[in-house]
Amino acid sequence: MLALKRLTENAELIEFAPDEGKVRVSCTYAAAEVVCELADLKDSWLNFRQAVLTELSGTYPRLAANPVLAELRL
């Protein structure tokens, strides 16, 4: 079972609340929230992660040789 997740780097908060195959995403800095299928969120995250890692590797070529980066690409 998935549990409530809260992400933060400062006083603001992003919250992911799973509920029966869906996830409600909200934050403290906006009134809007979204509900999406868990599978859609997972697919979007995987695509986003790959895009970020590809961009970072292109910008910092030495980073591409880092074994930790290879682990993140899993």
Q: Where are the domains of the chain?
A: 5-72
Distance CA 8, CA 34 (A): 18
For residue 10, the 8-state DSSP code is: S
At residue 8's C-alpha, the angle toward residues 4 and 57, to 5°, is 105
The secondary element (H helix, E strand) that includes residue 6 is strand 5-7
Q: What would the pLDDT profile of 54-72 be if each residue is shown by its tens digit?
A: 888 889 888 878 888 777 7
Q: What would the pLDDT profile of 10-57 be if each residue is shown by its tens digit?
A: 888 889 899 899 999 999 999 999 999 999 999 998 899 889 888 888
